[in-house]
Amino acid sequence: MSVMNAREYGAASELDPASLIWEDERHYRVHTRAYTDQAVFDAEMERIFARVWVFVGHDSEIPNPGDYKTAYIGTQPVIVTRADDGAVHVLVNRCVHRGAVIAREARGTVRDFTCPYHGWVFALDGKLLAVSERNDSGGYAPDFDVPEGLHRVPRVDSYRGLIFACLDPDAVDLDTYLGRAKKTIDRKFGRSPVGRIAVRGKPFVMRYQGNWKFQVENIVDAYHFLHTHKGFVALQAKYGETTGDYGAHKGGSAKAMRQVRFKGSSWALRHGHAQLENSGTANPDELLSGPHREYYEALRDIHGPDEFPFVVGRMSGTIFPNLGLIHQQIRTWRPIAPDVTEVTIYLYDLVDAPKEFNDGWMRSQERFYGPAGHGMADDVDIFARNQQGLAGSAVEWLLLERGLQTDEKLANGDTKGLPASEAPQRALWQAWKQLMAQR
């Protein structure tokens, strides 16, 4: 295969993304530069994050008029706000006067937004309400061309409380964009008897020294767990649920955990989404006779006997480019630089589920993902190791070929793979290649 020399990559406008992916019947490989090059990163912000639906929040974070939260669409800061009429708006977090960020707090409640630099005032929907000292000495001319207000992101929509925004007014509708990935959301939120979740408390925010796509790949990577998290696996084998597992990581020995984890299917979905789907990690009969019997019986009645095992089983997924759903958490990530990424983890309660059930899952999340937990520390160390390894130029390609010969491509464009296939990782790169080819 003819491949452009790594030194020949130039500005984002000159990139040939096809040359960064080596794909044929026997190979699926990604060039090092796709993770390390500044021009690639700049093109991703223009061709991916500025053109697709990006997760910006959950409606339980802004339940009332005047509530807002800050978020990012790629490197673009935005404000997600609920106006007086209850409508949700996503506003570019930048004053139209001199460019200052309007809101810095993660969440808050206001009557309006006032720029701290010169005091311009904006409504909850972004409309400009007042220009301070407009007619005072040195003020604006009578025919001053007054801006309408903060720039509104043109497309805002939601699915089951998850709020998405899109900078491209011509993008496909959100329902089409999500496709089969809605199953991940439906099953996760379907654990609530009323089908709703509520974000719980403040999120856990951390940064790692690595590319944003490492996190996308990892959250749906069934292959790494027993190796990357070897210390946790030993802890689980020794202490089991007495450490607060609450069913998140089933299995005693490493062998038993492997048997549990290597069940089910992996999915590479259109638009870059991915899923790990496994009904075998939960024993329905055991759950229906356990301490939360009535709760599980209600779920079985709601979803039916065929769907019930999937709802209570193991399922994780990604919504490309910046959202992950795993266990009882929402995880989102924002790219800062080719080698710097920020990850935010939101724990949530299942509305109308037993309190001790929600509390137990929170303890499990803290044990594995929290600041003193095992899992996140393992993962970010691997991401940093990856980035460190890619700093060299002696080896050009990364291999994503696991399961390539056994994946089943469906007529609708989705691909179903074996449980530890790298089909979910290839989903990311298929969408990446298509979007990056657009000018």
pLDDT at 3: 38
CB 213 within 8 A of CB 428: yes
d(CA 263, CA 105): 43
- Please measure the distance between the N-terminal and C-terminal CA atoms of the chain and give it in whole angstroms: 25
CB 79 within 8 A of CB 101: no
CATH 2.102.10.10 fits 54-158, yes or no: yes
Among 105, 108, 83, 103, smallest CA distance to 92 is for: 103
In the block, residue with structure tokens 């944003």: 212
Who's near 438: CB < 8 A, 6+ residues apart?
A: 47, 51
Domain ranges of the chain: 54-158, 180-436
According to CATH, the topology of domain 180-436 is Naphthalene 1,2-dioxygenase Alpha Subunit; Chain A, domain 1 (3.90.380)
pLDDT at 5: 37
pLDDT at 237: 76
Among 159, 150, 185, 146, smallest CA distance to 80 is for: 150
DSSP string spanning 23-86? ESSS-EEEETHHHH-HHHHHHHIIIIITTS-EEEEEGGGS-STTEEEEEEETTEEEEEEE-TTS
pLDDT at 367: 79
d(CA 419, CA 260): 10
CB 198 within 8 A of CB 346: no
pTM: 0.92
Give the Cα-Cα-Cα angle 16, 272, 17 (nearest 5 degrees): 5
pLDDT tens track, the chain, 439 positions: 333 333 343 445 567 888 999 999 999 999 999 999 999 999 999 999 999 999 999 999 999 999 999 999 999 999 999 999 999 999 999 999 999 999 999 999 999 999 999 999 999 999 999 998 888 777 888 888 999 999 999 999 999 999 999 999 999 999 999 999 999 999 999 999 999 999 998 999 999 999 999 999 999 998 888 788 888 878 777 776 666 555 566 666 667 776 676 778 999 999 999 999 875 555 778 888 888 999 999 999 999 999 998 998 888 999 999 999 998 999 999 999 999 999 999 999 999 999 999 998 888 888 788 777 888 889 999 999 999 999 988 899 999 999 999 999 999 999 999 988 999 999 999 999 999 998 7
CA distances from 350 to 184, 191, 199, 325, 353 (A): 15, 7, 9, 14, 5
